[in-house]
A and B are shown apart, each in its own frame.
Chain A
Amino acid sequence: MTRFKIQPLSRRGILGAGAATFIAPRAFAQSALGGDDTTAAPAPAASGGNNGPAISVSGAQSAPIPIAVAPFTDPTGNPSQYGGQITGVLSDDLGHSGLFRPIDPTSFVPNSVANGTPVWQNWSILGAQALITGDVADQGGGQLRVEFRLWNVAQQAQVQGTAYTTTVDNWRRIAHIIGDVVYQQMIGEKGYFDSRVAYISEAGSTTSPVKRLAVMDYDGANNQFLTDGSSMALSPEYNPARQQLAFVSYQSNNPRVYLFNLQTGSERLVGGFGDLSIGPKFSPDGNSLLMSVSRNGGAAIVRMSADGGGMTELTNYASINVSPSFSPDGSQIVFNSDRDGNQQLFVMNADGSGAKRISFGAGRYAEPAWSPRGDLICYTFWGSDVGGFSIGVMAPDGSGERILSQGFLVESASFCPNGRVIMFYRQTPTPDGHNSRLVTIGIDGFNERLVDTPSNASDPSWGPLLA
């Protein structure tokens, strides 16, 4: 529940309004911003304009925004095949984000959009805060025109209206793009729906698994295998700025980093030095590539051009230094190292200087990844007191450690483009071997969801926004 408090601000305010400090009883109703207020924190001192008293509203918690997604029709208002499909993907995007609550369409009042304008009371009574309407026109020649409008129900006003023209087979992307536009309008930051994920698809027996490089839409649709499985593939990494992946392949019977051109399908060895090379990670501008190179029992983090030249060693080989990840401004790198005796997380400058340990828990830390927002680092943790593996997040200085998910084996966390959601993989033992699935979870630790893949999957790398 939301707490209201009125504070007198000035002598004029006290004399004019006779206001006195007042705190609302707990019986006060839930606000659109608020959930149940379980805190007793006092409201901050408030200052109103024109020297009047101000009502301070504190203790509110956010709740999913109730949003109505009216079925997209054809331009004449009749049901449309692609309209229905776009509506479904759009509703799923918004609902699965955890930030929106799509209203059950079976509760919609019929004919609630008249001549393109909402019948406002029909949406208000459902509790909708926002409404999405749209239509899809088949323009022939394999072309679709998709038009959508976002409405503010309380203010009875249009917030956004945009039309897109695309090929028929691109209808899912349009749904994701519209979802991102709605997300940005309502939440204030860019969405993440129009994105792809690279991952490792696993099939076959436990003793002889076939591990292939694959890409898919973030929600599991449009899956595409990139390698044929003749050589084991691991650890894909999306280039944030180019149509390119880096990944580890056993083509030469030794793990080496390769580049994969998403436009041509060609592969090229770039990690052909040392005993082996693993853990590729691109810089935020996509021009540099980090990897870990093993030599003489140790492993160093090296940096090279994304085209494969100009290698610079950022650490030495005196210990095992692996899993580097750039900060979003490219000035720092987080990695894990056993230089202090066991696997812990360290942050260094992008030139390799100033390495500083940031993790100190009683366990082992691995596979750090820096959020695109810059505010969090996610990691894999194994601690004897926890049991099993965990996916956690911490601030870049190591403070605020939080566990998001635990399991028999959870690993390889990757942030979505806006840093609000993490994808990782969860492996569970089965009588025949194991089950390995991709999972998403919010950085608040809520809304864990399975991602549908054709077979077992691991090692997700969430790519950038496509649009």
Chain B
Amino acid sequence: MIAKLQGRGDTVGTVRAAKVESRDQGRLEQPIFAAFAQQAVQALLNPKCATPPLPKDMLGTPRTLYFEF
């Protein structure tokens, strides 16, 4: 199972907001996918995991980040 998420990263790459990407919104009607996607959003917002190791050229400005869990 793969969930596509979209997050808002700040200047140091920390994800400050996250949601299921529009392409996967329709799958949220499936309870198991919804639970899986919710856990993925939780993981992105977890302080331990909210700052992925982005390349330096992706830092410095807030940007939209895309994830696949």
Contacts and interface: CB of A to CB of B under 8 A. Distances in A.
Interface of A: 2, 4, 6, 17-20, 22, 24-25, 28-34, 44, 46-50, 52-57, 60, 62, 65, 129, 152, 154-155, 184-189
Interface residues of B, number: 35
Given A32-B39, A34-B43, A49-B21, A17 B57 contact: yes
30 contacts: A4-B52, A6-B55, A17-B58, A18-B58, A24-B53, A25-B53, A28-B49, A28-B52, A29-B48, A29-B49, A31-B48, A34-B43, A46-B68, A48-B66, A49-B6, A49-B21, A49-B66, A52-B64, A55-B65, A56-B68, A57-B43, A57-B68, A60-B43, A152-B38, A154-B41, A187-B35, A188-B32, A188-B35, A188-B36, A189-B31
Contacts of B34: 188
B43 A32 contact: yes
A52 B66 contact: yes
Contacts of A188: 30-36
Given A54-B67, A155-B45, 16 more contacts: A18-B58, A20-B55, A22-B53, A28-B49, A29-B49, A32-B39, A32-B46, A33-B69, A52-B64, A55-B52, A60-B69, A65-B39, A129-B42, A187-B35, A188-B32, A188-B33
A189 B48 CA distance: 28
A413 B28 CA distance: 34
User: DSSP class of A's interface residues: helix, strand, loop or mixed?
Assistant: loop
Contact of A154 (B23, B31, B46, B55): B46
A154 B57 CA distance: 29
Contacts of B30: 188
Contacts, number: 108
B16 interface: no
A192 to B, nearest CB: 15
Contacts of B52: 4, 24, 28, 55
Given A31-B46, A184-B31, A55 B66 contact: yes
A152 B66 CA distance: 23
A6 B24 CA distance: 20
A4 B34 CA distance: 22
A4 B53 contact: yes
Contacts of A17: 57-58
Interface of B: 2, 4, 6, 21-23, 30-36, 38-43, 45-46, 48-49, 52-55, 57-58, 64-69
Contacts of A22: 53-55
A271 B57 CA distance: 77
Contact of A33 (B22, B43, B55, B65): B43
A32 B34 CA distance: 16
A33 B42 contact: yes
A356 B14 CA distance: 56
B55 A19 contact: yes
A155 B17 CA distance: 9
A35 to B, nearest CB: 12
Contacts of A54: 4, 66-68
Contacts of B38: 152, 186
Sort A-B residue pairs by CB-CB distance and give the 4 closest, nearest first. Answer: A48-B66, A188-B35, A29-B48, A188-B32
A55 B68 contact: yes
A19 B58 contact: yes
A160 B47 CA distance: 25
A17 B49 CA distance: 22
B68 A30 contact: no
A238 to B, nearest CB: 25
Contacts of A20: 55
A32 to B, nearest CB: 4
Given A25-B53, A49-B22, A154 B42 contact: yes
A383 B66 CA distance: 51
A184 B45 CA distance: 22
Contacts of B32: 187-189
Given A4-B53, A129-B42, A47 B68 contact: yes
Given A6-B55, A24-B53, A154 B45 contact: yes
Interface centre among A32, A55, A57 (most CB of B within 10 A): A55
